[in-house]
Amino acid sequence: MTELKKVLLEAANEAGKIITQYFQGDFNVESKEGINNLVTEVDKHSEKRIIEIIKNHYPGHSIISEEVGELMQDSDYQWIIDPIDGTVNFAHGIPLCCVSIGLKHKDELLLGAVYNPMMNELFFAEKGKGAFLNDKPISVSKKTNFETACLVTGFPYKWPSDRSEHPIKVFERFILEGLPVRRLGSAAIDLCWVACGRFDGFWEYNLSSWDVAAGYLIVQEAGGRITNFDGEPYSVFDKQTLATNGHIHESMLKLIRNK
Q: Are residues 69 and 192 in the same domain?
A: no
- Domain interval for residue 215: 146-257
pLDDT of residue 226 exceeding 80, the answer is yes
Instruction: Summarize the confidence of residues 160-189 as an average pLDDT.
Output: 89
Q: Are residues 130 and 168 in the same domain?
A: no
Highest-confidence range of 150-159, 191-200, 234-243, by mean pLDDT? 191-200
Mean pLDDT of the chain: 93
pLDDT at 39: 79
Are 122 and 180 in the same domain?
A: no
Task: Give residues with Cβ within 8 angstroms of 150, minimum separation 6.
Answer: 179, 180, 182, 198, 199, 200
Helix (H/G/I), strand (E/B), else coil: 171: helix
pLDDT of residue 210: 95
C-alpha 43: how far from chain center:
15
**Do 39 and 127 fall into the same domain?**
yes
Question: Of 86, 114, 137, which residue constitutes the final position of a domain?
Answer: 137
Q: What share of the chain is helix, strand, coil (3-state, %, to 5)?
A: 35, 25, 40
- Cα separation, 86 vs 215, in Å, equals 14
Query: Are 53 and 112 found together in one domain?
Result: yes
221 and 125 Cβ atoms separated by less than 8 Å: yes
Same domain, 111 and 215: no
Instruction: Verify that 103 and 6 share a domain, yes or no.
Output: yes
Four-residue CA torsion sign, 110, 123, 12, 228: positive
pLDDT (tens digit, 9 = 90+) per residue, 128-142? 999 999 999 999 999
The answer to whether the beta carbons of residues 197 and 138 sit under 8 Å apart is yes
For 41-73, the pLDDT digits (tens) are 899 999 999 999 999 999 999 999 988 888 888
Tens-place pLDDT, residues 2-22: 999 999 999 999 999 999 999
Dist. CA 235–CA 90, nearest whole Å:
27
**Could you give the CA distance from residue 54 to residue 51 in angstroms, rounded to a whole number?**
5
- CA gap 188, 197 in Å, rounded: 14
pLDDT of residue 66: 84
Per-residue pLDDT at 165: 78
Residue 114's CB is within 10 A of a number of other CB atoms, namely: 30
Q: Are residues 120 and 168 in the same domain?
A: no
pLDDT the model gives residue 40: 82
- pLDDT tens, 65-101? 988 888 888 899 999 999 999 999 999 999 999 999 9
- Give the distance from CA 241 to its chain's centroid: 10
Q: Are residues 159 and 120 in the same domain?
A: no
Assess contact for 246 and 144: CB atoms under 8 A: no
CA distances for 253 relative to 85, 97, 174, 188, angstroms? 26, 27, 11, 21
Q: Are residues 245 and 175 in the same domain?
A: yes
Could you tell me the pLDDT band of residue 30, with boundaries at 50, 70 and 90?
confident
Q: How far apart are CA 254 and CA 57, in angstroms?
A: 46
Neighbours of 197 (CB within 10 A): 18
To the nearest 10 degrees (0 to 180), the angle between helices 187-195 and 209-221 is 0
pLDDT value for 182: 97
CATH number of the domain enclosing 212? 3.40.190.80
